[in-house]
C-alpha cells in the first residue's frame, strides 16, 4: 500500500505520529474487526462469532478474532449488533464521562449515515432523551433509516436536511455530534482505493466544508451545550486547526477529558494532543490502537443562539379512532400505555409521549424521514404490520413466533419461498435463536414472505 507522500510529509508535526510504524502498519496488518452489541436486544456476544476480546473504552464493543461473513449471519440482520471499527466507539466513553445516565438530552447527530455513531448514541440514551439523526444525502439517509430501524428505539427520529436548516431549531439541542465528512485518510488501511482520491486540495475542500457545516448548524446548540467533533482524517487542517477555528470563530471552550476522571488514554494507545491555541483533541493511530485512524474533540458552547425561540407547548392529540387503534396496536406492542402514536398518509408511528413537542417541531421545520417506530397501516380494525415493528424493542411477546433454523432464516432473508409447519395462521414474526427477523403471513397452504425487498440478501454462502 503506497500512502500519499504529501500526506506523510504533512504529518511530521502532528503529535503522536511515527512515520516508520505508521507506514508499517499500513503494509502489514489486517485491520481488526469489531462489533458493538445492541444492548436492547442482547447483553452477551453471540456464541457463533469468532473468539472475541472487549474494546476497552466501550462496554458493548468487541474485537473478533477474524472477520466472519456478516451477510450470512441472521443476527446481523436482526440488529443484534453493528459492525463498527473500534476507535469510533470512544464516543461511548465521552458520553459516560460527560452525562449522567438519567439526564434527558436532546442529541443531534448532524452527519449520521450510515448510522455507526447514531446506533451507539441511541444505546447510551435513556427513553426520555431524544436522538435526531440527520443525513443530508437522500440515498445515504435511506441506509441510516435501515440501520436505526434495526436498532429498534422509539426515541430516535431521522431527518434529511442541510445543516443550515437546523437554525430553525435555535438552542434546541443539548448535544451536537458532528462526525464530519473528511478526506478519509484514517480509513486507508481498510479501503486502499480511497488513497487515489486523497490530495492536499481535497483536504482544503474538506476543512472548508467542515467549517461551513459547523457554522451553519451552530445556532441549533443551546448555550452550555456540548459539541462533539470528529473525523477519520489524520490531517492537522481538519483536526487541531479546526479546534482553533471552533474556539476562535464560534467562541466555544475546549473540554479536556482528563478533567472527568482518570481515563488511561496512553495505556490504550490514544494520543491526547493540543492545538496551537491549546484546545484538546484525541488521536487514534492504527499503529498505536487496535482501530482505525480517528480524531475526536469536545467543546462547550458559551454563547446564546442568535435568535431566541419560545418553543410552544404541544398536547397529545388523540385521534377520533383512538380506541380502535389502541385495540389494534395493543396486541402487538408491549406496554402500549407507555407510548403514543401519530398517523401520516395511513402509516402509524409509535413514539414516547415526552417527545410530542419534538415531533411537532421536527415535522414543522425539517424533512422528517422516520419518527420512533413505524407500526404499519390499519386495514379495517387490523394492523398490517411494518417490518420495523418486528425489529423494534416494543414488539409484544404475545405476537406468535415462527421459529426457524439457519437455512430457513437465510431463505427468509433472501425473500425466497419457504415452508415451516405452524399450528397457527396469520401474521407471525420469524424468529432465529430468539431474535426477530421480520414478518410472514402463514396461510393454510403457504407462507407469504414479507421481508423488505430492498433489504434482502442477494447472494448465497459459498459451499
Q: Which residues bind ligand SAM (CB under 6 A)?
A: 88, 111-117, 135-137, 140, 163, 179, 181, 209, 213
Q: Are 54 and 276 in contact (CB under 8 A)?
A: no
Produce one character per residue of 176-198: b if its CB has 16 or more CB atoms within 10 Å, e if not: bbbbbbbbbbbbbbbeeebbeeb
140 versus 357: smaller Cβ distance to ligand SAM: 140
Q: Describe the chain by its helix, strand, coil percentages, rounded to 5.
A: 35, 25, 40
**Is residue 4 within 8 Å of residue 234, measured between CB atoms?**
no
Name the residue nearer to ligand SAM (CB basis): 84 or 431. Answer: 84
What phi and psi, each to the nearest 5 degrees, are found at residue 218?
-55, -40
Q: Residue 280 Cβ, how far from ligand SAM at the closest point, in Å?
A: 21
Q: How far is the CB of 117 from ligand SAM (least distance, A)?
A: 4
CB of 304 to ligand SAM, least distance (A): 24
**How far is CA 104 from each of CA 84, 92, 129, 173, 312, rounded to the nearest angstrom?**
26, 16, 4, 11, 19
First and final CA of the chain: distance in angstroms?
Answer: 31
Indicate the helix (H) or strand (E) that contains 133.
strand 130-134
Q: How far apart are CA 253 and CA 299, in angstroms?
A: 5
DSSP-derived 3-state class of residue 358: helix
**Residue number with CB closer to ligand SAM (11 or 113):** 113
Q: Can you tell me whether residue 20 is helix, strand or coil?
A: helix
Nearest approach, Cβ of 181 to ligand SAM (angstroms)? 4
Which residue, 137 or 419, has its beta carbon nearer to ligand SAM? 137
Smallest separation (angstroms) from ligand SAM to the CB of 182: 6
Give one DSSP letter per residue of 147-163, joined into a string.
HHHHHT-TTEEEE---G
What's the min distance (Å) between Cβ of 163 and ligand SAM? 5
- Least separation in angstroms between residue 156's CB and ligand SAM is 14
Nearer to ligand SAM, 79 or 181 (CB): 181
Nearer to ligand SAM, 10 or 118 (CB): 118
For ligand SAM, the closer CB: 181 or 438: 181
Q: Residue written as cell 476480546?
A: 53
Contact (Cβ atoms closer than 8 angstroms) between residue 430 and residue 437: yes
CB of 131 to ligand SAM, least distance (A): 12
The rounded Cα 59 to chain-centroid distance in angstroms is 16
| Nearer of residues 226 and 449 to ligand SAM, judged by Cβ | 226
At 37, give phi and psi (nearest 5°). -75, 150
Instruction: For residue 121, give the nearest of 163, 88, 150, 75 by alpha carbon.
Output: 88
> Shortest gap between Cβ of 29 and ligand SAM (angstroms)?
23
Amino acid at each position: 500500500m503506497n500512502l500519499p507522500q504529501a500526506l506523510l510529509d504533512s504529518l511530521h508535526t502532528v503529535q503522536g505520529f511515527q512515520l516508520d510504524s505508521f507506514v508499517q502498519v499500513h503494509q502489514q496488518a489486517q485491520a481488526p474487526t469489531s462489533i458493538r452489541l445492541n444492548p436492547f436486544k442482547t447483553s452477551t456476544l453471540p456464541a457463533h462469532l469468532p473468539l472475541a476480546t472487549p474494546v476497552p473504552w466501550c462496554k458493548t464493543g468487541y474485537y473478533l478474532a477474524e472477520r466472519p461473513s456478516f451477510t450470512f449471519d441472521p443476527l446481523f440482520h436482526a440488529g443484534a449488533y453493528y459492525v463498527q471499527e473500534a476507535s469510533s466507539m470512544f464516543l461511548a466513553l465521552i458520553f459516560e464521562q460527560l452525562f449522567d445516565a438519567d439526564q434527558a438530552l436532546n442529541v443531534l447527530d448532524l452527519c449520521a449515515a450510515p448510522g455507526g455513531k447514531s446506533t451507539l448514541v441511541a444505546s447510551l440514551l435513556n427513553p426520555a432523551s431524544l436522538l435526531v439523526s440527520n443525513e443530508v444525502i437522500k440515498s445515504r439517509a435511506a441506509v441510516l433509516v435501515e440501520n436505526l430501524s434495526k436498532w429498534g428505539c422509539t426515541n430516535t427520529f431521522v431527518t434529511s436536511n442541510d445543516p443550515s436548516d437546523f437554525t430553525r431549531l435555535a438552542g434546541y439541542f443539548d448535544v451536537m455530534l458532528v462526525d464530519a465528512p473528511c478526506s478519509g485518510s484514517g480509513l486507508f488501511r481498510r479501503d486502499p482505493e480511497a488513497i487515489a482520491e486523497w490530495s492536499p486540495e481535497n483536504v482544503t475542500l474538506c476543512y472548508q466544508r467542515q467549517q461551513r457545516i459547523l457554522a451553519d448548524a451552530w445556532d441549533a446548540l443551546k448555550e452550555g451545550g456540548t459539541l462533539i467533533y470528529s473525523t477519520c482524517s489524520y490531517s492537522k487542517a481538519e483536526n487541531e486547526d479546526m479546534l482553533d477555528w471552533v474556539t476562535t470563530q464560534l467562541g466555544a471552550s475546549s473540554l479536556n477529558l482528563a478533567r472527568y476522571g482518570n481515563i488511561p488514554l496512553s495505556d490504550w494507545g490514544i494520543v491526547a494532543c493540543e492545538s496551537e491555541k491549546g484546545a484538546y483533541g484525541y488521536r487514534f493511530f492504527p499503529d498505536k490502537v487496535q482501530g482505525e485512524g480517528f480524531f475526536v474533540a469536545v467543546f462547550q458552547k458559551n454563547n446564546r443562539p442568535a435568535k431566541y425561540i419560545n418553543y410552544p407547548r404541544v398536547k397529545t392529540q388523540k385521534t377520533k379512532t383512538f380506541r380502535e387503534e389502541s385495540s389494534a396496536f395493543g396486541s402487538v406492542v408491549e406496554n402500549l400505555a407507555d407510548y403514543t402514536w401519530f398517523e401520516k398518509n395511513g402509516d402509524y408511528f409509535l413514539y414516547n409521549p415526552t417527545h410530542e413537542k419534538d415531533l411537532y417541531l421536527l415535522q414543522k421545520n425539517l424533512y422528517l424521514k422516520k419518527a420512533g417506530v413505524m407500526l404499519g397501516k390499519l386495514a379495517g380494525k387490523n394492523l398490517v404490520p411494518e417490518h420495523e415493528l418486528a425489529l423494534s424493542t416494543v414488539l409484544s411477546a404475545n405476537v406468535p413466533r415462527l421459529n426457524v433454523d439457519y437455512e430457513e432464516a437465510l431463505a427468509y432473508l433472501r425473500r425466497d419461498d419457504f415452508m415451516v409447519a405452524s399450528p397457527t395462521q396469520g401474521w407471525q414474526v420469524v424468529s432465529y435463536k430468539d431474535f426477530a427477523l421480520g414478518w410472514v403471513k402463514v396461510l393454510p397452504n403457504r407462507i407469504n414472505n414479507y421481508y423488505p425487498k430492498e433489504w434482502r440478501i442477494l447472494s448465497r454462502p459459498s459451499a
